[in-house]
Amino acid sequence: MPSIDSYVDGLLIRGRAYFSRDEVAAALGLKPSALAAAITRAINKHRLANPRHGFYLILRPEDQIAGAPDPVKWIDPLMKHQGIDYRISLLRAAAFHGASHQASMVFQVVVPRQLRDFDLGRHRLQFPYQGPDAFSQINQSPLVDQMKSDAGFATVAGVELTLLDCVRYFHKAAGINGVAQIVKDIGAKASPRLLQKAAGAYENSAVRRLGYLLDLTGHARQADALQGFVKRARTALPLDPSVRPLMKALAQAGERNSRWRLLINEAVEIAG
């Protein structure tokens, strides 16, 4: 009967660095308690990592220091194992599209189900949630791309979705200044037509904030494509909703931007 080590080695020879509990159980024919003990020993020896219940990563020697391979190498099979559609977005997607100022310290994956964030070795994974209807509307070609690694391909937000996601989840994208930097770096790559199409699946407030940042960073064509969304706005909103003034009266004291119906309550700083 093959051992867990020989099973793992066989997968690596075939270029595969992950497996499910059901797969290994069928291959080894062990009782559940014996299989659990064998997997636990392999994890303790840093041969395996366990990002989600019933799914295991095979660690090559170069992966053992970080505790797991780069998530781009295994996020696609993990999400397929869970039966959940996804897209890599925010900081990692911005870097993929050329945002040079963003250091991707966290791997962020937008999903249409509530999932718990987790750490695996030195990697931190976050799962921002988007409602299923909006997600299914936009999480498709030509609004998503493919990110290649030596283990295959993973779905990544296109430029337009990356911009919209960063504004919507700005607190996970280094704040309003971090998002402004991303907009400056990659905004020119966005198709005005696709940006307008995708924006319909997002909250009006996020679209207006993106429009303002596109104007601020000199991407006029992309900003103009979002102007029609301002007509749907009922009230002026703060550019940075995370800024809490000490007094309610101060909330209305900032500069008003009539083009986007925003209260500019935070000075945006962008590197040259």
CATH for 16: 1.10.10
pLDDT of res. 250: 44
Examine the fold and report which residue of 40, 66, 92 is the final residue of a domain before the chain moves on: 66
Task: Go through 29-41 and write b for each residue having 16 or more CB atoms within 10 A of its CB, e for each that does not.
Answer: ebeeeebeebbee
pLDDT of res. 150: 80
pLDDT of res. 230: 96
> How many domains in the chain?
2
104 and 20 share one domain: no
Dihedral sign from CA coordinates of 94, 98, 104, 108: positive
Cis bond leading into 142, ω under 30°? yes
141 and 180 share one domain: yes
User: pLDDT tens across 107-142, in order?
Assistant: 999 999 999 999 999 999 999 999 999 999 999 999
Q: Is it the case that residue 246 has pLDDT exceeding 80? A: no
176 and 233 share one domain: yes
Q: Does residue 270 belong to any structural domain of this protein?
A: no
pLDDT of res. 216: 96
Contact 132, 105 (CB under 8 A): no
| DSSP 8-state assignment for residue 135 | H
230 and 247 share one domain: yes
Q: Where in the sequence is the domain holding 53, given as residue range(s)?
A: 4-66
Mean pLDDT (the chain) is 92
User: pLDDT tens across 137-185, in order?
Assistant: 999 999 999 999 887 899 999 999 999 999 999 999 989 999 999 999 9
87 and 182 share one domain: yes
Among 30-34, 62-66, 232-236, 243-247, the minimum mean pLDDT is found in 243-247
Range 180-204 average pLDDT:
97
39 and 163 share one domain: no
